[in-house]
Amino acid sequence: MNNLREIAKTSVLGNPIRFGIMLYLLPRERALFIDIQRILDITPGNLDSHLRKLKQEGYVEIKKVLVDRPRTMVKITEKGAIETRNYLEKLKSVVSSYYKS
């Protein structure tokens, strides 16, 4: 249990909402702000706050695009994809250690 706690505390992805954002973006590479908000069922302000943290860490890029009207597009960066995969591997390792005992 200490390994899991340590992984969660030392990573920006230790927050379930930020982890969910990255898991949603990983196979898609990019998504509209509104789509992420809907899938995670969170407020725009909450999502904005988490995206700012992910952008600060270099995990996502955020830009305005013109679809049918101006929208906010969120794109996972190479660093974000690598760190998300690494985090998943760490979680997998911790979970598998529970079943080896």
pLDDT in tens, 39-70: 999 999 999 999 999 999 999 999 999 988 99
- As beta bridge partners, residue 71 has 65
Between 17 and 7, the higher pLDDT residue: 17
**Predicted structure pTM score:** 0.90
- Which single residue is written with the structure tokens 């597009």? 73
Average pLDDT over residues 64-89: 95
Return mean pLDDT, the chain: 92
H-type alpha helices, 29-77: 33-40, 44-56
d(CA 71, CA 25) in angstroms, rounded, equals 17
Which listed CATH number (1.10.10.10, 3.40.50.720, 3.40.50.620, 3.40.50.2000) goes with 2-92?
1.10.10.10
**pLDDT-above-90 percentage for the chain:** 76
- List Cβ<8 Å contacts ≥24 apart for 62-67: 67/32
How does pLDDT run across 10-22, given as a tens digit for each residue? 789 999 999 999 9
Nearest of 26, 69, 18, 72 to residue 47 by alpha carbon: 18
